[in-house]
């Protein structure tokens, strides 16, 4: 896959970049490379603001806090996902409502979401699995129809698209992962916007 980024953001000299970071004496968050990465992610997804976090799990937890998820609130989550997609909301007292997935994409089945929506539903979490997008048109219709927040867990979706639009640009809140099993890696790390 061709990475859709050019300088000044992107370099094929990873060891040189590590050396540059070490020589800057600023290797924690908020440094030059953090700012460049945040700007690149905003440019690519069209987000107004992005914040690098220590993990996608922490970005999901931040989503739950910012949405003011409270005990008894319900959050619809795909039945096939990493535990953090549910646990971030459970930690705030929410009840996870698991939605079946599609056999052809392993993503949330957009035709089964509406029957799970109740008066206590506060949000829908979608997970784009293995770079394959969820059916965002149908999900956005439901989110708007019922006034629900849409959290886009894009841990596996960076550089993927849906009808020509970048994954990670649909949700009210979007999370990203840079774990070593993801599309772009840095060992650990996540993004919230």
Known catalytic residues are 182
Instruction: Give the distance between the most distant pair of CA atoms in the chain.
Output: 56
Q: How far apart are CA 1 and CA 65, in angstroms?
A: 35
The residue count of the chain comes to 193
Alpha-carbon torsion (28, 32, 37, 39), positive or negative? positive
Question: How are the residues of the chain apportioned to helix, strand and coil, as percentages rounded to the nearest 5?
Answer: 30, 20, 50
In the block, tokens 């999900």 appear at: 139
- Helices and strands in the chain: count of H runs, count of E runs: 5, 9
Q: Which residues contact 193 (CB under 8 A, 6 or more apart)?
A: 41, 42, 45, 47, 48, 49, 50, 51, 168, 173, 174
């Amino acid at each position: 896959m061709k990475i859709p980024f050019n300088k000044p953001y992107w370099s094929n000299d990873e060891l040189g970049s590590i050396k540059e970071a070490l020589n800057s004496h600023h290797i924690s968050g908020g440094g030059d490379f953090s700012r460049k990465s945040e700007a690149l992610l905003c440019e690519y997804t069209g987000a107004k603001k992005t914040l690098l976090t220590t993990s996608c799990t922490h970005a999901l937890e931040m989503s739950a806090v910012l949405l003011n998820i409270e005990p008894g609130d319900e959050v619809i989550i795909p039945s096939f996902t990493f535990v953090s997609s549910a646990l971030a909301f459970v930690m705030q007292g929410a009840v996870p409502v698991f939605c079946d997935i599609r056999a052809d994409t392993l993503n949330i089945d957009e035709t089964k979401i509406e029957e799970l929506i109740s008066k206590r539903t506060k949000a829908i979490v979608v997970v784009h699995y293995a770079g394959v997008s969820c059916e965002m048109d149908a999900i956005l219709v439901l989110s708007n129809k019922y006034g629900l927040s849409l959290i886009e867990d894009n841990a596996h979706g960076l550089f993927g698209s849906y009808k020509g639009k970048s994954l990670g640009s649909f949700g009210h809140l979007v999370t990203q992962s840079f774990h070593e099993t993801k599309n772009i890696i840095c060992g650990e790390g996540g993004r919230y916007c």
